[in-house]
Amino acid sequence: MKKRYTLDQNRWDAPVAHTMPEQTRVPARFVVGGVVIAPATVLAPMAGVTDTVFRRFIKNASVFSAAGEETREQQVLHCEKTDNQKTAVERVTSNEQSGCGLIMTEFTSADGLSRMRESKRKRYLTYYEDEHPISAQLFGSNPETLADSAKIVEAAGFDIVDLNLGCPAKRVVACNGGSGLLKDLPLIRVIFERVRAAVQIPFTVKFRMGWNDANIVCVELARMAESCGLNAVALHARTREDGYTGQARWEYIAAVKDAVRIPVIGNGDIRSPEDAAAMVDATGCDAVMIGRTAPSNPWIFRQIAQYTATGRYDAPTDVDRYRMIRTYFEMLVDEVSAEERGMGSVLGSSANKSIERDCVGKMKQFASWFTHGVPGGAGLRRAIFEAKTGSAVLGRVEAFFAGEMEISVSEVEVGETAPTVPSLACCD
């Protein structure tokens, strides 16, 4: 079972408050291999978090298109006609689908994927057409197994395959996976070469600075990735020994950017549009990757795209947050129902109960993030934690809407379908 993110991992040590740079914005797009990613924002792969429900939820929460601006087709046409390509690209403020340019799966064990039955493999690699572009992340240490699993990912229709060299979890490192490989650069080179030779889709890698401060290898590793034909690199600017503590050291992202010509994605301590723009300003990175902020502020990608386009962004109201909770929980319940219909005859009733338990477990996990700082949120968390089934959790949320929030029936009908795009209150 994959370890879920905890509240401790979702906290920052004395976070630095950045101001918005006067000129720099998050780029409108970047290209990985032949895949155009617009805007240049990436949802980080997170074990126990970035399943298909959360990925689609983020897409929906991030929808943004600048009112009164040119259509995307007009913007792209403008780009093709201008001599100043860089300025023109900046006019492409977002793809009209979402303020999140690229989403990534939870990391998946290459060893496990290669041994799975086809039916179980489909569950791990489930995605929907509206999730494109999407990257599948693998971890492992056997070059041949990773190459075989990359072929499976390519055959499944993913746009990009990514190698995890960043996970600090002890059990992953114990298998020489994740950040454990950072102590064996020759093996990493072999993995790069085998996977690159195995697939035609873009191949990327996400890694940390090194094992510890005495073993900083990020620049050397990025150069190796480029020489082996990888299409982009993503750096979480901490060491494995750091875990999630201390400040992300963005200067290492800048050093990697200076060392290679392929796109560099920066990751670490982005909690706001100001942070995202500040990272681009400080490092010159081509895109930003956001992890821990996404569960607690699913609007972060929309806010970044909105600021890029207009110079301001909106903050969610309490009503928006409550609607968001209900929307996500409804999506979870719907996904469980779909899995039971599609797999129940194959897996049996015990598996169906396991799917239901997983659904309720995720509701309880996300309730802690979604309700953080919301008036009355503690009462809703208690009610959710006491519920035993998905429908019971939804009932508690509906009761909370009708009671604690004192929202009029005309504003939010109990049982109505929550809007796909939450309305947001203005905040400069």
- Note down pLDDT in tens along the chain; length 428 residues: 344 444 445 555 656 777 777 778 899 899 999 999 999 999 999 988 899 999 998 987 777 655 434 333 333 333 333 334 333 333 333 333 458 999 999 999 998 888 887 767 777 788 999 899 999 999 999 999 999 999 999 999 999 999 999 888 888 887 778 888 999 999 999 999 999 999 999 999 999 999 999 999 999 999 999 999 999 999 999 999 998 888 999 999 999 999 999 999 999 999 999 999 999 999 999 999 999 899 888 889 999 988 888 888 888 877 777 778 888 888 888 887 776 655 554 445 565 677 777 778 888 878 777 776 667 778 888 888 888 887 788 788 878 767 655 543 334 333 333 333 333 233 33
**Rounded distance, CA 292 to CA 103, Å?**
14
The dihedral built from the CA positions of residue 60, 66, 67 and 69, taken in this order, carries a sign that is negative
SS3 164: strand
Buried b (16+ CB within 10 A) or exposed e, 89-124: bbbbbbbebbbbbbbbbbbbbbbbbbebeeeebeeb
Looking at residue 269, what is its pLDDT?
92
Whether omega before 143 lies within 30 degrees of 0, making that bond cis, reads no
Looking at residue 351, what is its pLDDT?
59
175 is annotated as an active-site residue? no
**Rounded distance, CA 389 to CA 360, Å?**
6
Residue of 208, 253, 199 whose CA lies nearest to 229: 199
Question: The domain 30-315: what is its CATH number?
Answer: 3.20.20.70
Q: Which pTM does this prediction carry?
A: 0.81
Looking at residue 342, what is its pLDDT?
58
Among residues 79, 100, 167, 359, the one annotated as catalytic is 167
Looking at residue 80, what is its pLDDT?
37
How many Å separate Cα 169 from the centre of its chain? 18
Looking at residue 280, what is its pLDDT?
96
How many Å separate Cα 286 from the centre of its chain? 16
Judge whether 113 and 124 are in contact, CB under 8 Å.
yes
Comma-separated ranges of CATH 3.20.20.70 domains in the chain: 30-315
